[in-house]
Amino acid sequence: MKFWQGLMFQPTEELVAIARCAEDAGFTGVMLSDHLVTYQTQSETYPHREDGQVFWGEQTHWPDPWIAISAMAQATSRLQFTTAVYIMTLRDPFTIAKMLSTLAVMSGNRVALGAGIGWQKAEFDLVGQEFQNRGARANEALQVIQKLTTGANVSHHGRFFDFPSLCMTPAPSQALPIYIGGESDAALRRAARHDGWIGTRYDSAQLVEIVGRLQRARREEGTDGSSFEIIVGTAEDADRDLFMRLEDLGVTAIMTSSWPQQDDLHCDLPLSEKRRYIEAFAESFIK
């Protein structure tokens, strides 16, 4: 089992230090999440909580994940990086491909795109992106990103994007991994066409059902014979037996916050305490 340290909601100025600590402790990687803004008055239902309310505040940090990852990558040598998840449909695929290609080259292929389609229409309205067609647009944008990050001369003629033969450089020396978030049937089919699935926080029973659907989607897409990452957060207490059961289910990596959570967000712990919790988690489950 692999372990990823979630860095969502942490002070931006602490990210590099936490990444160094996670690498020293033996974590596979770290991951960030993504939002452009936080509205003072929340008018849309947050789909990942029963009460429909967001659990972060106006001053919660949402750094640009790729800029933050570039800083962490320069301060580490082995650690991998991804997003859980990047709202790719707020941006065009050419900008995404350029950022990721450059970052992959400069980090030695230690970056993966963890992609989602978003849930908050108000953010789409801010940047003039269509909300209703975001799923279909994401499917095609992912094709474009895969083409562009090869560095070869490629063309594309689709519903949303159309361009003649061209190339984008620099390009990674390895294929850019793409992981997909979301638990709808459409999201799981999207994940089945790519390299992995990233889940949020689930108990074991929920994961049995979702992973079963994901495996069916992979069989239907004809990708069940290829390597595939399933990275999930667990709503249950960390336990070796739990991790072994999840591994038997097909989970390849656990996304965790090593320190105690407060209101599903974070504790106001000093950096030294976060280091201590990371080291203690690694001692119990990684080393």
Mean pLDDT estimate for the chain: 94
The predicted structure's pLDDT at residue 265 = 53
Q: What percent of the chain has pLDDT over 70?
A: 98
Half-sphere exposure of 245 (CA within 13 A, CB side): 12
Distance of alpha carbon 242 from alpha carbon 202, whole angstroms: 12
Model confidence over 94-128: pLDDT tens digits? 999 999 999 999 999 999 999 999 999 999 999 99
The predicted structure's pLDDT at residue 43 = 79
Model confidence over 245-257: pLDDT tens digits? 999 999 999 999 8
The predicted structure's pLDDT at residue 244 = 96
pLDDT of 181 higher than 70: yes
The predicted structure's pLDDT at residue 23 = 98
Strand order in the sheet with 178-181: 80-83, 29-32, 2-6, 253-256, 229-234, 196-202, 178-181, 113-116, 86-87
The predicted structure's pLDDT at residue 211 = 97
- What separation in angstroms does the CA of 13 have from each of 10, 61, 234, 260, 267? 8, 10, 27, 20, 16
Q: Quick one: average pLDDT of 167-182?
A: 98
Contact (CB, 8 A) for 149 and 172:
yes
The predicted structure's pLDDT at residue 253 = 98
The predicted structure's pLDDT at residue 217 = 98
Question: What element of type H or E holds 210?
Answer: helix 204-221
Q: Quick one: average pLDDT of 80-94?
A: 98
Model confidence over 16-45: pLDDT tens digits? 999 999 999 999 999 999 999 999 888 788
The predicted structure's pLDDT at residue 47 = 80
The predicted structure's pLDDT at residue 267 = 58
The predicted structure's pLDDT at residue 268 = 76
Q: Quick one: average pLDDT of 156-174?
A: 98
Peptide bond into 170 cis (omega under 30): yes
In angstroms, how far is the first alpha carbon of the chain from the final one?
11
Residue among 60, 79, 59, 61 nearest 69 (CA): 79
Peptide bond into 30 cis (omega under 30): no
pLDDT of 266 higher than 60: no
User: Could you tell me which residues come within 8 angstroms of residue 113 by beta carbon, excluding any fewer than 6 positions away?
Assistant: 82, 83, 86, 88, 96, 100, 145, 176, 177, 178, 179
Distance of alpha carbon 285 from alpha carbon 287, whole angstroms: 6
pLDDT range class, residue 263, cuts 50, 70, 90: low
Question: What element of type H or E holds 186?
Answer: helix 185-192
User: Could you tell me which residues come within 8 angstroms of residue 151 by beta carbon, excluding any fewer than 6 positions away?
Assistant: 101, 167, 168, 169, 170, 171, 172
pLDDT of 282 higher than 60: yes
The predicted structure's pLDDT at residue 103 = 98
Residue among 205, 196, 234, 206 nearest 6 (CA): 234
Distance of alpha carbon 248 from alpha carbon 112, whole angstroms: 24
Model confidence over 203-213: pLDDT tens digits? 999 999 999 99
